[in-house]
Amino acid sequence: MTGNLQSPISNLNVVALAGGVGGAKLAWGLAQLLPPDRLTIIVNTADDFEHLGLHISPDLDTVMYTLAGLANPETGWGIRDESWNMMEMMARYDGPTWFRLGDRDLATHLLRSQWLRAHRAPPGQGFPLTWVTRELSKLLGVRQAILPMTDDPVRTIVHTDEGPLPFQEYFVLWRWQPVVRSIQFKGIESAHPTQDVVSSLREGDLIVFCPSNPFVSLDPILALPAVRRIIAASRAPKVAVTPIVGGRALKGPAAKMMRELGMEVSPVSVARHYQDLLTGFVLDRQDENLKTEIAFDLGIRTLVTDTVMTADADRVRLAREVLEFAARL
């Protein structure tokens, strides 16, 4: 159902770059307005990790569960109405329970891991992450294309005052409290965007940078060889929605990372971070005073609106405003 958008917009091929919870919310809003075959979500996989013998892809699962209407509304990750029997038994064995795996969520990790292992069979038995993600999301009734940014292993290592931490240990085990010195995407040099990612970026009529963490959710996608060049070469409008509102991140470590990386905690820093790629930037009303700086110093057209997505209606409204803003660029 394409809602009551003017027809030119609902015929746009929209490509959204997303990471965790914030990105998934806007992707869901866009999915309410566009025909399913007009929305592609390219998702960060640098948060992936091996845990208890399972390949876990948190951002892919957050986007998939959100589009399937299954996501836990409180956390944004994992599945709603979840049970935790496996975790309780794990605790009896004094096994690792720092990364909480729900009983329903576990089915996703078990199947993904088994299908990927089959991929390690002789070449041509390919079950790469792109195939696995398409199968799982189709089986959950998701009709939009959810694309891992790459099928190659890329892992975010956060270099902190506690030493180098794999992303999930930094984010969950250490609750993102260690001070960040630098961020590394291990394996990025020899990784490639998938063919699906390359063609969706080339064919997209609009590229949306969702309000995800710029440094650990969108940067891994942009750091893949050729991706920045393909986005820069595209004549489609590129619109970013700010993940920073009133000097703070709505969720997670983005603001704290900015401070620790020596940047001013402001939407202007985010706009500058993507500057060479952006046509438009969506700023929250609380930061309206920064509009001229972004518009004139950075030369990026700016839309000021309410960017905080609390209820589902906010997600759809923001998605509609992004599409209508893009149509004017």
Q: How far apart are CA 237 and CA 278, in angstroms?
A: 8
CB of 23 to ligand FO1, least distance (A): 8
**CB neighbours of residue 125 within 10 Å:** 9
Are the beta carbons of 271 and 280 closer than 8 angstroms? no
- Exactly one of 80, 100, 119, 186 binds ligand FO1 (CB under 6 A); that residue is 100
Give the Cβ contact number of residue 194 at 10 Å.
20
Cβ(243)–Cβ(212) under 8 Å?
A: yes
DSSP assignment letter at 169: I
Interface with ligand FO1, residue 29, by CB under 6 A: no
Residue (168 or 266) nearer to ligand FO1, CB = 168
| Nearer residue to ligand FO1 within complex by CB, 257 or 268 | 257
Q: Which two tokens stand for residue 109?
A: 């990790």
62 binds ligand FO1 (CB under 6 A): yes
Q: Which two tokens stand for residue 5?
A: 């958008």
Binding segment for ligand FO1 (CB under 6 A), chosen from 97-105, 115-123, 156-164, 238-246, is 97-105
What's the Cα-to-Cα distance from 110 to each of 105, 127, 136, 148, 202, rounded to whole Å?
9, 14, 12, 18, 34
> Minimum Å distance from CB 145 to ligand FO1?
19
Alpha carbon distance 218, 44 (integer Å): 7
Binding mask 158-177 for ligand FO1 (x = CB under 6 A): ----------x--xx-----
Total interface residues for ligand FO1 by CB under 6 A:
16
Contact between 61 and ligand FO1 (CB under 6 A)? yes
Q: Is 59 in the site for ligand FO1 (CB under 6 A)?
A: yes
- Residues found near ligand FO1 in the complex (CB under 6 A): 19-20, 47, 58-59, 61-62, 77-78, 99-101, 105, 168, 171-172
